[in-house]
């Protein structure tokens, strides 16, 4: 039996990605609706109340910082999360390569095949370039079915910031791929 969705009373979103791609800036930009010039390595966990989220579900947003946390911490956080956003920087090719060379395999290795986490690919710093990375990212989506959606955004100009968190919520509440595959029971 394939279950397409589980009724959720809250959504927990985890942001991962290479250092300097803008994870902390994205969270603080969403909360304060302006770009923070100085950011700490890691944002405090925040809870967005149900009535201000598009899907009316309380939503926790969790930052990850390799400076302050270990790979073990990261695996725990991946397991606690309902959706993982892999943040890359559109102007940093290495951060794009690491989506497939590091992050997607790491997330797979941290979870069981039956409990695969939906993933959203987030290309930040779109204010710095005049091209798009979406064509490339779409080829990644073909290879990794757990990638539910992708979005380019800018913590600096606030472009697509609320959309990015909406896509993450949507990946949990209305997934397009079966995320929970249960054994057929007699």
Interface with Mg ion (CB under 5 A): 23-24, 41, 65
Taking the complex as a whole, the smallest distance from the CB of residue 128 to ligand GTP amounts, in Å, to 5
Interaction of residue 160 with ligand GTP, rule CB under 6 A:
no
* Distant-in-sequence contacts of 105-112, Cβ < 8 A, 24+ apart: 106/74, 107/16, 107/78, 107/146, 108/146, 110/74, 110/75, 110/78, 110/79, 111/78, 111/79
Under rule CB under 6 A, residue 24 binds ligand GTP: yes
Q: Which residue has the tokens 């959203």?
A: 120
Q: Tell me which residue of 3, 20, 25, 43 sits closest to 164, measured CA to CA.
A: 25
- The least CB distance from residue 130 to ligand GTP, in Å, is 13
* DSSP state at residue 176: S
Query: Which of 41, 175 has the CB closer to Mg ion?
Result: 41
Q: Which is nearer to ligand GTP, 126 or 172 (CB)?
A: 126
Binding residue (CB under 6 A) for ligand GTP from 8, 10, 31, 41: 41
Provide, rounded to whole angstroms, the least separation between the CB of residue 39 and Mg ion: 6
According to the binding rule CB under 6 A, does residue 49 interact with ligand GTP?
no
User: By CB under 6 A, is residue 39 in contact with ligand GTP?
Assistant: yes
11 bridge partner residues: 59
Q: Report which DSSP code applies to 182.
A: P
Q: Establish if 14 lies at the interface with ligand GTP (CB under 6 A).
A: no
Q: What are phi and psi of 73, to 5 degrees?
A: -55, -45
Contact footprint for ligand GTP (CB under 6 A): 17, 19-25, 39, 41, 65-67, 124-125, 127-128, 154-156
């Amino acid at each position: 039996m394939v279950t397409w969705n589980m009724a959720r009373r809250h959504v927990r979103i985890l942001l991962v990605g290479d250092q300097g791609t803008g994870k902390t800036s994205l969270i603080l930009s969403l909360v304060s609706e302006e770009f923070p010039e100085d950011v700490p390595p890691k944002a405090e966990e925040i809870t967005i109340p149900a009535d201000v989220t598009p899907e009316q579900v309380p939503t926790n947003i969790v930052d990850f910082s390799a400076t302050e946390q270990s790979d073990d911490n990261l695996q725990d956080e991946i397991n606690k999360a309902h959706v993982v956003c892999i943040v890359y920087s559109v102007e940093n090719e290495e951060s794009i390569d690491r989506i497939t060379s590091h992050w997607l395999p790491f997330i797979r290795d941290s979870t069981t095949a039956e409990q695969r986490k939906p993933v959203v690919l987030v290309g930040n710093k779109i204010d710095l370039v005049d091209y798009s990375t979406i064509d490339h990212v779409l080829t990644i989506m073909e290879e990794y079915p757990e990638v539910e959606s992708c979005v380019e955004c800018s913590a600096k100009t606030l472009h697509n910031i609320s959309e990015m968190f909406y896509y993450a919520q949507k990946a949990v509440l209305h997934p397009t791929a079966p995320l929970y595959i249960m054994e057929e029971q007699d």
